[in-house]
Amino acid sequence: IWIFHGFYAEEELVGNLASMSAGERIKAIQKMPETMKKKREIRNKVLNQITKKSKHNSTQLSCCTECLQGTVVSFRRFGNSLSEYFHLLQLWHKTLKIIGAKFGTSVLSYFLFLKWLLIFNIFSFLINFSFITVPQFVAAEPNNLSFMGLELLTGAGYFQQTVLYYGFYTNATISKIENGSSYNMQLAYIFSVGIYFVICFLTLLFSMAKSFSRNFTNPHTHSGNASKLLCTWDFNITNEKAVKLTQKNLSTQIKEDFADVNREVLNFSLTERVVRIVIHLVSWVASLGTAVAACAGVYFLSISNLKLFVKERKNDLESQAAMLVLPVATSLLNAFIPFFYSWLGHLERFQTPRHQIYVTITRNIILKISIVGILCYYWLNIVAASESQCWETLVGQDIYRLVVVDFMFCLLGSFFGEFLRRIIGTTVCVSLGLPEFDIGRNVLDLIYAQTLTWIGILFSPLLPGIQMISFSIVFYVKKVSLLMNCQPPRKVWRTAQMTTSFIFLLFFPSFLGVLSVIGVTVWRIKPSEECGPFRGLSSMYAAVSEWIEILENYTASKWVVWIYHNLLSSELFFFVLSVVVLIITYLHWQIIEGRRTMTKLLKKQIAN
């Protein structure tokens, strides 16, 4: 009886242990007042019983379970391999790694910014081509003008009667089949452009907030340098080129981190400080005076060109060549004045390269945005009120010429500014050495080109496609020029915050300025009477108001009318929305300040 009772108790114990989870079972066996041999026997019996139960259950659900598990594992492996494959297919992935390894993150930030703008233009081109250009092909009339070749530079002549410009698009409702579904070109035009700008606004805000949070809010840990030195190397790398590239990349990152840690603080005497302040003031006066003179020259030149075009209206070779005077003069100013600003920056002798680049970028942005502002005033107040039959197409042609000529000057700048500079520095004047890549000037060229593209979308819907091609060519030209002509920065420095600054400059004043120009054009200025999808209306936005009036007669569309009257056209709604956004921004800023204070305290504790 005693033997039977002990056997029954042990079987019950094994059954109870088998029903427990793995962690609970281990703890229960460890707490038993038994020898190690006995504990092993009990553990083996428990495992055997669990195996028998699993085999019994598997005989019932084996087919379905194995198929399901096999499918899940296959999908997981397929997803992992697909993600690795797409990672390798990223645009210019290998090129960016080479640039970052050889020239550091400061130069790499320019190429990442260029890639980011290229994606913007690809997205814009797909939207405009799909919803504006493709439907227009159905209602397009044949083009009777001859192509001479100079149109590629001027954008006039043959291109004037194509889908490249606003004036070619119809104001009729397109219907390929009688009594079939129709396509309202007015609504498609204004909604495609409007939705694209809304997406750009949200994307810029999200990118700026994400970059700000990563580079300003979240501090770098003290163990970053040690972890890069001791724990970063990937021992799966066996290819010799990949090993050398990774070594260069890691070495450049560590140098940049050490440059931030070992930054020298220079102490100047009172006389030296006064001299430096005077030099800074004189440099700023000279830079602002140059910008004002450039804007005045662009304005008077544009006025004289408009008088010439409106009065003569010729389509011969000489008249088309005269159209290039304004864009060439504007591009010359944008090309040579930044070199003067760079010379001023070297004259001021800033303590760190970061300060010099920020000052140079600020001066360049003042110059370029001022020129764009003068051109916008000329287009919206002078060209729109001129005797031109289709002033929107005339504005589109001006912007097209500015984009194309700016692209050509960008290529020439790489040749004369970097290639010839390398020849001079290596043969004529060896003390100069190889040139460094001018990050500030090149970034501002990108922002200027993108600003023109955003303004021109309303007047030339396919302009993002042209800018997409130009940015792709600029990337390869700049890459070749960088690798062949330039040297890495003499002072190695980390530029994690530069990308945030680039996005901020693209958002303000560039994008917000473009929104104000587009808003004035859509809401305030009367469209041309003889061309474009909005001909005959008091404003472009009047097409939306007329559409809402039609929807008021349909019961199923009452919700659209309610949203329009109570939200989109309500000043109170936007006032409340602005207050809510400001409150959220203030609360988020207070959270950031609290985290910074806590981070400082924790750093002190770590140091102690």
Residues 6 or more apart in contact with residue 305 via CB below 8 angstroms: 322, 323, 325, 326
Short-list 190, 134, 122, CA closest to 539: 190
pLDDT at 88: 53
pLDDT for 180 beyond 80: no
The whole-angstrom separation of Cα 309 and Cα 320 is 10
pLDDT at 222: 45
What are 475-509's pLDDT values in tens digits? 999 999 998 888 877 655 555 567 788 888 899 88
Amino acid at 138: V
> What is the phi/psi pair of residue 173, to 5°?
-85, 120
What are 393-440's pLDDT values in tens digits? 999 999 999 999 999 999 888 888 788 888 888 888 877 778 888 887
Amino acid at 154: T
The whole-angstrom separation of Cα 534 and Cα 169 is 9
Average pLDDT over residues 280-304: 92
Going through 150-231 in order, the beta strands assigned E by DSSP cover 173-174, 183-184
Give the rounded percent of residues in the chain with a pLDDT score beyond 70: 81
- Count of CB atoms situated within 10 Å of the CB of 510: 23
- Tokens coding 542: 């009047």
pLDDT for 299 beyond 70: yes
Average pLDDT over residues 164-170: 91
Q: Residue ranges of the alpha helices (H) in 19-92?
A: 22-30, 36-88
pLDDT for 3 beyond 50: no
Global confidence as pTM: 0.78
